[in-house]
Amino acid sequence: MITRRKTNQIKVGTVPVGGDAPVSVQSMTTTKTADVDGTLAQVYALAGAGADIVRITCNEVEAAQGLAEIVPRSPVPIVADIHFQYRLALAALEAGVQGLRLNPGNIRKEAHIKTVAMEAGDRGVPIRIGVNAGSLDKDLLEKYGSAVPDALVESALKEARYLEEVDFTDIKISVKHSNVPSMVESYRLLSDAVDYPLHLGVTEAGPPPGGLIKSVAGIGTLLNEGIGDTIRFSLTADPVEEAKAGRSLLEYLGLRERKGLDLIACPSCGRAEVDVIDVASRAQTALEGEGLPIQVAVMGCVVNGPGEAREADIGIAAGKGKGHLFIKGQVVRVVPESEMVEALLDEARRLAEEGVEARLAAADENASDVAAATRTQLVEIQGDANQSQERRSRVAEVAKNRS
């Protein structure tokens, strides 16, 4: 169980961030903000994929005008991304956005920053201080020589002081770096320095799979340490993939309730009776469309499969031309191998509707006996790959001789 660091809580629209609120998922649109319908379509797609908050660029007057139409129709709170022009932050506030992201590296004038903060404070709109290693303040680059963690944190603290000096404390901070170890160290230092909620991300992570690996390495490390209140996977990909990945990571870490499919599968071996990769792929395709919040296991053989995956809600294991369908490790049905995926899908739907106890009670009478007989037959044919009985005997013998 992860013990999260306690931070001050802010609200981005209706979404609480920090404190005891769930870790939230953010992503960002890639459309031109002036294209209202196109941007809204992407916002809805992101919300459907698990994004709690969506950031939209506000880089020109037409973008701010677009926000005025987008915000009232959005299913999730909108954060305006501001670069260089502080007046566009004021325009975004007038458009009704529920949050601002300011980059200290490119809005340099203290007076401009404070003007935005006072206007945001009057409207109850929080500000994210978005420090980025790639656009760090030139003075700090000269001081530190490069975008080291201490430089990123100093930038964030300097910006926070500007906001605090006008009594603005609805603050969230990020210190993103494209180098994973530097990103992790930056957030650790920042976490020790402030109580503001932190937004985690590896900036410019790149396309999958590398971008996913880097993001999970950085964000996952910090979340496991209890650091982080909201996250974004910055991938060179469809932003919907960012939202899906972020949501999945939180579910896998137990930080958000599962809303989608969690498919686990054995890596396959010489004992497998089917092409596990093919079956798992077909099962995932079939089940993802159902939107069922369950854990499903696909196992290559019946000798160890149901036992190893007994914590899964439901699963299928292959054996001698048949598929052994199991719920919480108990075999409930034996079906032809050609019907494995279809049977798994059917049972998953029933499980979601009726619950575990009802489906266990509806198990085929002889399913367990057939499964046990098949396991025995396979062990006789293939041998005990783990040499379980021999190993147990040797262990017992050693224990006796130690007396």
> What is the reported pLDDT for 303?
66
200 to each of 21, 53, 186, 332, how far by Cα in Å?
15, 14, 10, 43
**Average pLDDT rounded to a whole number, residues 334-352:** 92
309 vs 194: which has the higher pLDDT: 194
> What is the reported pLDDT for 380?
64
pLDDT above 90: residue 271: no
**Average pLDDT rounded to a whole number, residues 153-172:** 97
**Residue 44, SS3?**
helix
> What is the reported pLDDT for 377?
67
Q: CA dihedral in degrees (141, 144, 146, 147; nearest 10)?
A: -80
**How confident is residue 375, by pLDDT bands cut at 50, 70 and 90?**
low
Confirm if 282 and 341 have CB atoms less than 8 A apart: yes
Q: What is the spatial distance between Cα 373 and Cα 350, in angstroms, rounded to a whole number? A: 27
Question: Which CATH superfamily groups domain 262-382?
Answer: Sulfite Reductase Hemoprotein, domain 1 (3.30.413.10)
> What is the reported pLDDT for 402?
62
Nearest Cα residue to 227 out of 1, 2, 4: 4
**Stretch among 113-117, 228-232, 376-380 having the lowest mean pLDDT:** 376-380
Kindly report the number of other CB atoms within 10 A of residue 234's CB atom. 20
**Stretch among 73-87, 112-126, 188-202, 319-333 having the lowest mean pLDDT:** 319-333
**Stretch among 95-109, 225-239, 261-275 having the lowest mean pLDDT:** 261-275
> What is the reported pLDDT for 101?
98
187 contact partners, CB below 8 Å, separation of at least 6 = 175, 198, 200, 222, 227, 228
Nearest Cα residue to 238 out of 48, 94, 61, 37: 48
Tell me the β-bridge partners of 296: 263, 314
> What is the reported pLDDT for 382?
60
Is residue 329 packed enough to be buried (19+ CB in 10 Å), middle (13-18) or exposed (0-12)?
middle
**Residue 14, SS3?**
coil
Confirm if 252 and 224 have CB atoms less than 8 A apart: no
**How confident is residue 388, by pLDDT bands cut at 50, 70 and 90?**
low
pLDDT above 70: residue 384: no
Share of the chain above pLDDT 90, in %: 72
Q: What is the spatial distance between Cα 99 and Cα 294, in angstroms, rounded to a whole number? A: 34
pTM reported for the whole predicted model: 0.85
Q: What is the spatial distance between Cα 203 and Cα 211, in angstroms, rounded to a whole number? A: 9
> What is the reported pLDDT for 275?
82
**Stretch among 148-162, 268-282, 315-329 having the lowest mean pLDDT:** 268-282
**How confident is residue 381, by pLDDT bands cut at 50, 70 and 90?**
low
Instruction: Please identify which residue in the block is written with the tokens 């000096």.
Output: 165
Whether 10-252 and 262-382 share one fold: the answer is no
What single letter denotes the amino acid at residue 247? R
**How confident is residue 258, by pLDDT bands cut at 50, 70 and 90?**
confident
CATH of domain 10-252: 3.20.20.20
pLDDT above 60: residue 167: yes
Q: What is the spatial distance between Cα 344 and Cα 158, in angstroms, rounded to a whole number? A: 56
Q: What is the spatial distance between Cα 296 and Cα 301, in angstroms, rounded to a whole number? A: 15
What does residue 243 show for φ and ψ, rounded to 5 degrees? -65, -45
Q: What is the spatial distance between Cα 319 and Cα 305, in angstroms, rounded to a whole number? A: 10
pLDDT above 90: residue 317: no
Tell me the β-bridge partners of 130: 174
pLDDT above 60: residue 386: no
Q: What is the spatial distance between Cα 85 and Cα 60, in angstroms, rounded to a whole number? A: 9
What single letter denotes the amino acid at residue 97? V
Q: What is the spatial distance between Cα 212 and Cα 234, in angstroms, rounded to a whole number? A: 9
274 vs 295: which has the higher pLDDT: 295
183 vs 401: which has the higher pLDDT: 183
Give strand ranges (E) for 191-349.
Answer: 199-200, 230-231, 262-265, 295-299, 314-319, 322-327, 330-336
pLDDT by residue (tens digit) across 89-123?
999 999 999 999 999 988 889 999 999 999 999 99
Indicate the average pLDDT of the chain: 91
Ordered by start, the domain boundaries in the chain are 10-252, 262-382
